[in-house]
Amino acid sequence: MENRRVALVTGASRGIGRAIATRLASSNIDIVINYNKDLEGAEETQKQCEKIGVKTRILQGDMGKEEDVNLIFENIVDEFGKIDILINNAGITIDGLLISMKEEAFREVLEVNLFSAFYTMKLAARIMAKNRFGRIINISSIVGIRGNAGQVNYSASKAGLIGMTKSLAKEMAKRNIRVNAIAPGFIETDMTHKLSNNIKNKMLEEIPVGYFGKPEDIGNLVNFLVSEEANYITGQVISIDGGMNI
The reply to whether 92 sits near ligand NAP by the rule CB under 6 A is yes
Which range of residues in 49-57, 94-102, 169-177, 180-188 is near ligand NAP by CB under 6 A?
A: 180-188
Cβ of residue 146: shortest distance to ligand NAP, in angstroms? 11
Comparison of 71 and 129: residue with beta carbon closer to ligand NAP:
71
Query: What whole-number distance in Å separates Cα of residue 138 and Cα of residue 125?
Result: 14
CA angle 2, 33, 77 (to 5 degrees): 55
Q: Please name the helix (run of DSSP H) or strand (run of DSSP E) that holds residue 183, with its range, or none.
A: strand 177-184
The reply to whether 38 sits near ligand NAP by the rule CB under 6 A is yes
Q: Determine whether 154 is an active site residue.
A: yes
Residue from 35, 119, 154, 211 carrying the catalytic annotation: 154
Comparison of 139 and 162: residue with beta carbon closer to ligand NAP:
139
CA angle 129, 21, 113 (to 5 degrees): 70
Q: Judged by CB under 6 A, how many residues of this single chain contact ligand NAP?
A: 30
Query: What whole-number distance in Å separates Cα of residue 193 and Cα of residue 188?
Result: 7
Residue 181: closest CA among 165, 170, 168:
165
CB atoms < 10 A from the CB of 31, how many?
A: 29
Site for ligand NAP in 128-147 (CB under 6 A): 139, 141
Comparison of 81 and 163: residue with beta carbon closer to ligand NAP:
163
Among 6, 8, 9, 11, binds ligand NAP (CB under 6 A): 11
Exposed/middle/buried for residue 67 (C-beta within 10 Å: 0-12, 13-18, 19+)? exposed
Site for ligand NAP in 102-121 (CB under 6 A): 112
Q: Please name the helix (run of DSSP H) or strand (run of DSSP E) that holds residue 31, with its range, or none.
A: strand 30-35
Comparison of 174 and 222: residue with beta carbon closer to ligand NAP:
222
Could you tell me the strand order of the sheet in which 177-184 lies? 56-60, 30-35, 6-9, 85-88, 134-139, 177-184, 237-240
Mark residues 49-88: x for contact with ligand NAP by CB under 6 A, - for none: -------------xxx------------------------
The reply to whether 216 sits near ligand NAP by the rule CB under 6 A is no
3 state SS for 114-172: HHHHHHHHHHHHHHHHHHCCEEEEEECCHHHHHCCCCEHHHHHHHHHHHHHHHHHHHHH
Cβ of residue 130: shortest distance to ligand NAP, in angstroms? 26
Comparison of 93 and 234: residue with beta carbon closer to ligand NAP:
93
Among 5, 6, 8, 17, binds ligand NAP (CB under 6 A): 17
Comparison of 141 and 234: residue with beta carbon closer to ligand NAP:
141
The reply to whether 206 sits near ligand NAP by the rule CB under 6 A is no
Active site residues: 154
